[in-house]
Amino acid sequence: MRIIILVISLFFGIQLSAQKNCGFSTDVKDSIGTYRETKGYLMHEKVFGGKSTYIFFTLANEDGTPFLKVQKIEKSANFISANCFDQQSKVYIQLLNGKIITLVYGGEETCGNLVRQPNESLASRVITGNFLFLKGSIEDLKSSPIWQIRIRYATETIDFAIKKELVSELMNETFTPETYFTNYLHCIAD
């Protein structure tokens, strides 16, 4: 009997240790509804030739509807072309097990903002969009690490290879984007 209890305890201990603490940046529950949002998580970073590109993911849940907030930040001294989200925009996530998960854009058309700081040569372009999970996709995302992300903008599609471990030059931290969903989806979808 003790062996059975030990095996069950070890199994649940391993399951719980795989999931990370949520660390919400927003957690509101009032008479209007509920809204929870995890902290932004760096999924991709590319710094090359005076230009840098960053992709951040945030998981959120508004009144029981889970979604993924995608933010792309580009910095450069040269012109930065706009990538826009429209009703045809999607995020495709290819898992290591071969499955491809599709998330659909759930907002108004936007091309983000161009920000130029006074007395600085760099400009930044920031675009943020909310993408909805399709039925059954959350279970698939919880079960397998990520291999690649494809973002379909209004005028082009861009692929981002996902690393097992990402040491950020910008934030001077280490991230594990490959296991982002397996570690954090429990925060917004049980």
Coil/strand/helix, residue 20: coil
Q: Does pLDDT of 17 surpass 60?
A: no
The pLDDT confidence band at residue 108, using thresholds 50, 70 and 90, is very high
Check: CB of residue 58 under 8 Å from CB of residue 71.
yes
DSSP assignment letter at 171: T
State how far the Cα of 55 lies from the Cα of 160, in Å rounded to an integer.
9
Q: How confident is the model at residue 148 (pLDDT cuts 50, 70, 90)?
A: very high
For the chain, the domains span 22-187
The pLDDT value recorded for residue 1 is 41
CA-nearest of 175, 172, 89, 78 to 130 is 89
Give the Cα separation of 66 and 152 in Å (integer): 20
pLDDT of residue 10 exceeding 70: no
141: left (phi over 0), alpha (psi -120 to 50) or beta: alpha
The mean per-residue pLDDT over the stretch 74-85 comes to 92
pLDDT at position 122: 86
Q: How far is CA 149 from CA 25, 81, 172, in A?
A: 24, 20, 23
Query: Which pLDDT belongs to residue 98?
Result: 94
pLDDT at 163 over 60: yes
pLDDT higher than 90, residue 118? no
Give the pLDDT score at 121. 82
pLDDT of 32 > 50? The answer is yes
**Quick count: other Cβ atoms within 10 Å of Cβ 69?**
16
Alpha helix (H) residue ranges in the chain:
2-18, 137-143, 180-184
For the chain, how big is the Rg over CA atoms in Å?
18
Distance CA 187, CA 182 (A): 10
pLDDT at residue 64, as a whole number: 93
Residues 129/105, Cβ–Cβ less than 8 Å: yes
What is the pLDDT averaged over residues 58-82? 94
pLDDT at 5: 38
Whether residue 189 contacts residue 64, with contact meaning beta carbons closer than 8 Å, is answered with no
Of the candidates 163, 141, 60, the residue with the CA atom closest to the CA atom of residue 94? 141
Global confidence as pTM: 0.86
Higher pLDDT, 117 or 11: 117
Q: How far apart are CA 176 and CA 97, in angstroms?
A: 18
